[in-house]
Amino acid sequence: MNATLAPRWRSVASPRAPAGVASRCGVAAVASPRAPAGVASRCGVAALVGLGALLFVTPASADVQSCLSASENGQRARAAGKLREAREQFVVCGGDGCPAIVRRDCAQWNSELAQTLPTVVFGARDREGRDLFDVTVTMDGEPLVTKLDGKSITVDPGKHTFRFEADGFEPASETALIKEGERARAIDVTLGGDRAAPPDGANGGGGHTPYPWIVVGLGAAGVTAGVVIALTSPERPANCNADTQTCTRLPGQSAADFLKDQETAGTADSQPVLGWVVAGAGAALVAGGLLWHFLEPTGDEKSSSRVRFSPWTTGQSSGAALGGRF
């Protein structure tokens, strides 16, 4: 501080001023009301020049004080392990407006920090291994970046928890011990969940799909139709025997009526069978749909499940297929 202010202080005192003027001014002002007129004049000039010097030095003193405070704060932050904060303070006290001796010290400390400050490089991928870019990363709750660009980020040494968040993905966290001087430490995570939110009413949140219930509905309709077919079958004519599967022509019965009785007897035999077959196929679809629903993987199980159950029907026959990836 003395090196910066010394030239200004020298400009205040005139090298041609008589020795002892200051002391004579003090004595004249305090002890001798009858001081010579020349001495009083010189005392007034000295007082005015001194006041001007004080007003001129005040802003510079404030700047120097800021430099010294930044230097002290930087050293405290460095001792506490807050290297990033310390570096910011050393940049302030290393500026051109600070005294030379302070600038030299802060520049040296800043250079030392540049060698010890660790850096990390963040990376995030989805479950298919594709890189993600619009990812927000926080360190111990403090925001660091909002996008990933592959560049290194300076962090303080120590144990930190990094949290990765991206729209449409489940957040992921990674805890690591970052060491002083460590460079480009890779912190990579895999974010779970789907890339985009599902549309309304379609498998929201990785839950069950609606397809099993469609199968159940078709099966229920088949059961209902089969029962109706079976219960609405015509009664067998009295002149037709179920055991012998033959019909006897009644006296006076016309050939057309006799043929109609035979057709009615045949329908009475076949329609209940058809109805119960249809009802049975519907019941199989109901059972298959329910089984599909309960075996269907949800959430995180969707991507890892290897087993697939798929019921099928052709209208004339039905079944279920069980397969998977191995």
| Domain match, 38 and 86 both | yes
Contacts 24+ apart (CB under 8 A), 95-104: 95/67, 97/63, 97/67, 98/63, 98/64, 98/67, 99/1, 99/3, 99/4, 99/64, 99/67, 100/3, 100/4, 101/3, 102/67, 102/68, 102/71
pLDDT confidence of residue 65: 87
For residue 174, what pLDDT is reported? 93
Do 266 and 316 sit in the same domain of this protein? yes
CATH number, domain with residue 154: 2.60.40.1120
106 neighbors 117 (Cβ within 8 angstroms): no
| Total tally of structural domains belonging to the chain | 3
Answer yes or no: do 40 and 127 share one domain: no
Same domain (yes/no): 59, 138: no
What is the reported pLDDT for 123? Answer: 94
Last residue of a domain, one of 87, 115, 143: 115
Last residue of a domain, one of 67, 94, 115: 115
Residue 303 and residue 228 share a domain = yes
- Of 138, 160, 190, the residue at which a domain comes to its end is 190
Same-domain check for residues 159 and 266? no
Q: 279 and 242, same structural domain? A: yes
How far apart are the C-alpha atoms of 93 and 105, rounded to whole Å?
9
Biggest CA pair distance of the chain: 173
Residues 181 and 241 in one domain: no
Kindly state whether residues 219 and 295 are assigned to the same domain. yes
- What local confidence, expressed as pLDDT, does residue 126 receive? 92
Residue at 198 is within a domain: no
Indicate whether 211 and 320 sit together in one domain.
yes
- pLDDT value of residue 95: 87
The answer on 243 and 295 residing in a single domain is yes
| Domain assignment present for 39 | yes
Give the residue among 121, 126, 129 at the shortest CA–CA distance from 145. 121
* 225 assigned to some structural domain: yes
Domain that holds residue 125: 119-190
Q: Which amino acid is at 41?
A: S
211 with 256, same domain? Answer: yes
Let me know if residue 196 belongs to a domain. Answer: no
Q: What are phi and psi of 39, to 5 degrees?
A: -65, -45
State the pLDDT at residue 230: 86
Reading the chain (326 residues) residue by residue, the pLDDT tens digits are: 333 333 333 333 333 444 443 344 443 333 344 444 444 444 444 444 444 443 343 445 558 888 988 888 989 988 887 888 888 888 899 888 898 888 898 998 888 888 888 999 999 999 889 999 999 999 999 999 999 999 998 998 999 999 999 999 999 999 999 998 899 999 999 998 654 444 444 444 456 788 888 989 998 999 999 899 988 889 888 888 888 888 888 888 888 888 888 898 888 888 889 989 999 998 999 998 898 888 877 655 554 444 555 555 555 566 656 555 44
> Does some domain include residue 195?
no
Please indicate, yes or no, if residue 99 is contained in any of the structural domains. Answer: yes
- Give the residue from 10, 46, 11 showing the smallest Cα distance to 25: 46
